[in-house]
Amino acid sequence: MDVLVVGGGGREHAIIKKLKESKDVGKIYALPGNGGIALDAICCDINVMDFEKIKAFALENNIGYAVVAPDDPLVGGCVDVLTEAGIPCFGPNAKAAIIEGSKIFSKNLMKKYGIPTAEYETFDDAGKALEYLEKAPLPTVIKADGLALGKGVVIAETLPDAKNAVYEMMQNKKFGKNGERVVIEEFLTGPEVSVLAFTDGNVVKPMVSSMDHKRAHDGDTGLNTGGMGTIAPNPYYTEEIAQRCMDEIFIPTIEAMKKEGRTFKGCLYFGLMLTESGPKVIEYNCRFGDPETQVVLPLLDGDLFEIMRAVTEERLKDVPVKIKDGSACCVIMASDGYPQSYEKGFEIDIPENLLNRVYVAGAKEKDGKLYTNGGRVLGVTSVEKTLKDAINASYKAAEKIHFANAFYRKDIGKRALEAKK
Ligand code: AMP
Ligand code: GLY
């Protein structure tokens, strides 16, 4: 069966590489894909938000199954459009994707169903938000309600910073409509864990836990990015904590969505913080994380396509989601200056023997060569028996990959290794 993947980053490259292992998958198309993905799939330059064009492409090319990976098209209803056209899809419909699309929705859902999360208030009036900040404890966390390219969360240490965040979002409309309403919430502390789980709305089957590294520079300094590297499994996520998360968070969340008439089918991403009073939800994403996927899928033991179809057809209970032994580490190689301004267009040199574990995020192909075309350029993943070996192997590989102005963090996995001790 021919398969279509909507999206064009490192996450989509990882999904495509894993799908290629399935005997039931024929041709794979990526919309729009990128220069690196083109080594593994047929890329076609269609915007992820142009649902009518995506639908027409799918029908013309006899697509048997579609995977919608990024947040914007999921929240915008790409799955609804394709499903209506008779194309089975992986990913939640718009009604369910709101779990990521509106932080106010997800916070209210958690409150209503007793799912542990930070205390919060919501505001649609800037004056009221500013007044509330006067007596809110510091640091305080301000979140834009809607999607904001991962930049919609401000942790303010001082009252002027907090007020400025509210001003930027609500009055200056930094994120347009998506920041007109905000959540102001309690600052939590503790190790963070990402858990990506398959769910068909009836059962929930988590993949291996992981740890992202969001800040741009070593020692968790610098600006927040989309993610500079990941490791899996996350050593803080013990079996006991996993069981608590299943009972107190995962199952209650899918049950809550069902009760609200918003059955969630796809990959639900739980961003968790392990606080002293137990695991709490920091955020939900309605999709695979990036770059979590680049460590989670290489450790998935099984046929991704079979699991995805079981999700769509609501028979996930019959299909095992198994995890391989060992650990994985993904180091992201970025363009110097990311997440702010950076130059593009530099030739990328990847040794042939590393291609199978490189996930390309921002690159263009020209005359058979790859050139940088984004902030995050690529990720290189290693799977080894131990975390230490996986980290070493990824850094060894990164040293062999070259492009001008490349930079990457040198401490991916360091905190996890220390936690293991
Ligand atoms: P998000 O974009 O929602 O993933 O948030 C970005 C990062 O902000 C998270 O990974 C956390 O490190 C941090 N964060 C979000 N909410 C809180 C909170 N209530 N307390 C402490 N840190 C938070
Ligand atoms: N790496 C975090 C995310 O995908 O949102």
Q: What is the pLDDT of residue 151?
A: 81
- Tell me the domains of the chain and their CATH numbers: 3-93 (3.40.50.20), 119-186 (3.30.1490.20), 192-323 (3.30.470.20), 327-420 (3.90.600.10)
Ligand 1 nearest atom to the CA of residue 143, by list position: 3
Q: Got the DSSP string for 53-112?
A: HHHHHHHHTT-SEEEE-SHHHHHHTHHHHHHHTT--EES--HHHHHHHH-HHHHHHHHHH
pTM given for the model: 0.97
C-alpha 110 to ligand 2 mean position (Å): 20
C-alpha 285 to ligand 2 mean position (Å): 8
CB atoms near residue 217 (< 10 Å): 15
C-alpha to C-alpha distance for 297 and 304, rounded to whole angstroms: 8
CB atoms near residue 158 (< 10 Å): 11
Ligand nearest to the CA of 269: 2
Residue having the nearest C-alpha atom to atom 5 of ligand 2: 289
Mutational test site, ligand 1, from 153, 214, 272, max ligand atoms within 8 Å of CB: 153
**Does a cis peptide bond (omega within 30 degrees of 0) precede residue 235?**
no
Residue having the nearest C-alpha atom to atom 3 of ligand 2: 289
State whether the beta carbon of 258 lies less than 6 angstroms from ligand 1. no
Q: What is the pLDDT of residue 421?
A: 76
* Phi-psi label, residue 341: left if phi above 0, alpha if psi -120 to 50, beta otherwise: beta
Q: pLDDT tens across 53-84, in order?
A: 999 999 999 999 999 999 999 999 999 999 99
C-alpha 11 to ligand 2 mean position (Å): 10
**Contact 286/74 with Cβ under 8 angstroms?**
yes
Q: What is the pLDDT of residue 150?
A: 78
Q: What is the pLDDT of residue 388?
A: 98
State whether the beta carbon of 100 lies less than 6 angstroms from ligand 1. no
Report residues of the chain scoring pLDDT below 50: none
Dihedral over Cα of 348, 350, 356, 359: its sign: negative
For residue 395, which phi and psi values (nearest 5 degrees)? -70, -35
Give me 327's structure tokens: 């650990």
State whether the beta carbon of 141 lies less than 6 angstroms from ligand 1. yes
Residue having the nearest C-alpha atom to atom 4 of ligand 2: 289
Of the candidates 35, 36, 45, the residue with the CA atom closest to the CA atom of residue 17: 36
Q: What is the pLDDT of residue 28?
A: 98
C-alpha to C-alpha distance for 73 and 77, rounded to whole angstroms: 6
How many residues make up the chain in this entry?
Answer: 421
Q: What is the pLDDT of residue 160?
A: 96
C-alpha to C-alpha distance for 257 and 109, rounded to whole angstroms: 8
Residue having the nearest C-alpha atom to atom 7 of ligand 1: 153
**Does a cis peptide bond (omega within 30 degrees of 0) precede residue 233?**
yes
Residue having the nearest C-alpha atom to atom 11 of ligand 1: 282
Residue having the nearest C-alpha atom to atom 3 of ligand 1: 283
Ligand 1 nearest atom to the CA of residue 185, by list position: 19
Residue having the nearest C-alpha atom to atom 2 of ligand 1: 150
Tell me the β-bridge partners of 389.
none
